Amino acid sequence: MKIPFRDLLFSFLNEDIDISLFRCREPDLTEFLIEDALENQVARLSVTRLVSYEGQIAGFFTLTNDCIIRKGVSDDDGEEWYPYPHYPALKIARLATHQEFEGRGIGRAMLLKTMAIAMRLSHYVGCRMITVDSKPDSEGFYLKYGFQKVLVKQKANAVPLYRDFYRSYHEAEKDMSLPLSSFDDSTR
């Protein structure tokens, strides 16, 4: 049964939250959350948000800055007139759903929140794309939500993907039947 977005609580990772019971299918993602995420956040290398449902951590996602080479972007994305070799981007560095919540819409909710964060960020600094180096087993998940493969050299053990969120913003609003701005509550 899908969990409605409105029933989820988004919060920043902090030292007062017990994350020790979080488990996902990828041990390295669980390990990152428990052992490295807070340290990276304190060092301003990335920011991790937790997604909770009824008091239990249902997922987490970690964001950082990025850029994507212009040659890696489809001609249908970006701007033809843009003269620089890279587009500014927001990177999904990690995204994981607790095993008990798989298939209940938590991943989709985290992508919606990421899209809203990217839109808000783009009001303050240049940010046009969302990028992710997907694990091969997760590629289909991202493709389902409008991400595309980067058109240049592929990394080993990861599938570089991107989404031009600015171009697809209105399209996404139609798909979701709610304005993305409604997901951009900085207190959630």
Residue 170 has pLDDT above 70, yes or no: no
Residue 184 has pLDDT above 60, yes or no: no
Q: Do 117 and 69 form a contact (C-beta atoms < 8 A)?
A: no
CATH number for the domain spanning 53: value is: 3.40.630.30
- Residue 174 is part of which domain span? 5-183
CA dihedral 166, 168, 172, 178 (to 10 degrees): 40
Residue 83 has pLDDT above 50, yes or no: yes
Q: How many domains does the chain have?
A: 1
pLDDT tens digit string along 104-154? 999 999 999 999 999 999 999 999 999 999 999 999 999 999 999 999 877
pLDDT tens digit string along 147-159? 999 998 776 789 9
Predicted pLDDT of residue 172: 54
Residue 96 has pLDDT above 50, yes or no: yes
Which residues neighbour 175 within 8 Å (Cβ) at sequence distance 6 or greater?
none
Task: Confirm whether 188 is domain-assigned.
Answer: no
Task: Confirm whether 108 is domain-assigned.
Answer: yes
Task: Confirm whether 37 is domain-assigned.
Answer: yes
Task: Confirm whether 56 is domain-assigned.
Answer: yes
* Total Cβ atoms within 10 A of residue 25: 14
Residue 188 has pLDDT above 50, yes or no: no
Task: Confirm whether 167 is domain-assigned.
Answer: yes
